[in-house]
């Protein structure tokens, strides 16, 4: 099979991805083999390729927003039938034994595995997954539209919940890419007022078209104090101005797996009056199930930019330079 690997992590302009030929993987006990139909291109894949995230194994295949059909099952795997369409997401395996797993916080598991980081992901023609960590994909979504839901959607959903947005509250969204354009739709559906801050003019237009109350550029401030905020851009220098924009008791949720250094905070300006900063670490399977159910009920409008499988490196470069609005998705060439 054809697969893209992280050959040597480095800046995207150095083309850290390489296409190779590999044997089709065999599903182990409890696993299924999936013929990949589409795979979203996530900013985490960019962090991995550029070395912001150190690969857990050499020549790993990125990609954790995978849509495909089951073509074979390993021993003991009986959840999905051959031909069934399923999704493979970021959370690949948890121990089920540590105190976090037992208390329902499997996203904080002490020995987790992640798709496209610990084990090979969906930038390939075939992939495997433990059936307990796969998602049935709702009807009515094409492969291309479903793929971004499996990370951009799920993580945005968890970030929204971590932001403690009150009913009818005022939400600030900083950065407006694949995850943000899905998250805003949930917030609006649930009655929030949303203010977007992003450097991209086209992203500001997209935010307003989706129903944002305002959309402003870098360095600008929301038109009113915020109850909650989500930081999607991996830029730590944005944290102090966001904290200033929060009203009393407001919460900032930082959605990314990577963030540049945060400057020093002033207690009175940034933290007093019970303001909070919260990170977002992966997700639970319950998050994924709840989000997919909600996404189909709204339903969310997924903006995608398709790339042929052979154009994975170009998709990653376009993501790095904000050359599109929405979510990049690799679609199989055949």
Picking from 168, 209, 204, 208, the residue whose alpha carbon sits closest to that of residue 187 is: 168
Domain that holds residue 31: 2-141+302-331
Confidence of residue 289 (pLDDT cuts 50, 70, 90): very high
Verdict on whether the full-model pTM lies above 0.85: yes
Q: Could you tell me what percent of the chain has a pLDDT over 70?
A: 99
What pLDDT score does 133 carry?
98
- Residue 231 maps to which CATH number? 3.40.50.720
* pLDDT value at 21 more than 60: yes
Instruction: Please give the residue that has the higher pLDDT: either 255 or 324.
Output: 255
pLDDT given for residue 32 in this prediction: 98
Under DSSP, the state recorded for 124 is: B
Tell me: pLDDT of 334 over 70.
no
Write out the H or E segment, with its range, that includes residue 288.
helix 285-297
Q: 228 is written with which tokens?
A: 């909650």
pLDDT in the model for residue 318? 96
CATH code of the domain containing 97: 3.90.180.10
Averaged pLDDT score across all residues of the chain: 96
pLDDT tier at 333 (50, 70, 90 boundaries)? low
Same domain, 166 and 256: yes
Which of 279, 196, 205 minimizes the C-alpha distance to 245? Answer: 196
- Percentage of residues in the chain having pLDDT higher than 90: 96
Q: How far is residue 6's CA from residue 244's CA, in Å, rounded to a whole number?
A: 39
Which of the four pLDDT bands, split at 50, 70 and 90, describes residue 326?
Answer: confident
User: What integer pLDDT is reported at residue 325 of this predicted model?
Assistant: 86
Query: Torsion over CA of 103, 44, 174 and 303, rounded to 10 degrees?
Result: -100
Q: Are residues 89 and 188 in the same domain?
A: no
- Least confident range from 55-59, 94-98, 166-170, 214-218: namely 55-59
Number of domains in the chain: 2
The predicted-structure confidence for 161-170, as pLDDT tens digits, reads as follows 999 999 999 9
- In this structure, is residue 53 part of a structural domain? yes
63 lies in the same domain as 173? no
Res. 65: pLDDT tops 90: yes
Residue 39 covered by a domain: yes
Residue 129 pLDDT greater than 70, yes or no: yes
The 10s digit of each residue's pLDDT in 174-222 is 999 999 999 999 999 999 999 999 999 999 999 999 999 999 999 999 9
Phi and psi (nearest 5°) for 244? -70, -30
- What's the rounded Cα separation, in Å, for the pair 73 and 217? 50
Asked whether residue 110 is domain-assigned, the answer is yes
211 shares its domain with 107: no
Q: Is residue 287 part of a domain?
A: no
CA dihedral 158, 67, 83, 131 (to 10 degrees): -40
SS3 140: coil
CA distances, 274 to each of 84, 189, 264 (Å): 48, 27, 18
């Amino acid at each position: 099979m054809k697969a893209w690997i992280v050959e040597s992590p480095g800046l995207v302009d150095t083309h850290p991805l390489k296409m190779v030929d590999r044997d089709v993987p065999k599903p182990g006990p409890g696993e299924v083999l999936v013929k990949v139909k589409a795979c979203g291109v996530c900013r985490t894949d960019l962090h991995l390729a550029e070395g912001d995230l150190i690969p857990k194994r050499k020549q790993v295949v990125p990609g954790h927003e995978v849509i495909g059909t089951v073509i074979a099952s390993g021993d003991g795997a009986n959840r999905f039938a051959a031909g069934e369409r399923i999704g493979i997401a970021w959370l690949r395996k948890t121990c089920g034994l540590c105190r976090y797993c037992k208390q329902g916080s499997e996203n904080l598991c002490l020995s987790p595995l992640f798709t496209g980081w610990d084990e090979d992901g969906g930038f390939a023609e075939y992939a495997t997954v433990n059936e307990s960590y796969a998602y049935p994909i709702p009807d009515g979504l094409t492969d291309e539209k479903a793929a971004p839901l499996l990370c951009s959607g799920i993580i945005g959903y968890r970030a929204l919940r971590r932001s403690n947005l009150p009913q009818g509250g005022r939400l600030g969204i900083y950065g407006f890419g694949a995850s943000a354009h899905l998250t805003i739709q949930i917030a609006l559906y649930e009655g929030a007022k949303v203010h977007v801050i992003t450097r991209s003019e086209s992203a500001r237009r997209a935010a307003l078209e989706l129903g944002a109350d305002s959309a402003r550029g870098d360095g600008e401030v929301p038109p009113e104090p915020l109850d909650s905020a989500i930081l999607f851009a991996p830029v730590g220098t944005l944290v102090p101005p966001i904290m200033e924009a929060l009203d009393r008791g407001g919460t900032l949720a930082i959605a990314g797996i990577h963030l540049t250094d945060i400057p020093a905070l002033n207690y009175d300006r940034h933290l007093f009056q019970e303001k909070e900063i919260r990170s977002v670490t992966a997700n639970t399977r319950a998050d994924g199930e709840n989000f997919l159910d909600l996404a189909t009920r709204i339903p969310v409008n997924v903006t995608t930019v398709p790339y042929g499988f052979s154009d994975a490196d170009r998709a990653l470069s376009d993501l790095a330079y904000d050359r599109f609005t929405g979510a990049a998705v690799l679609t199989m060439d055949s």
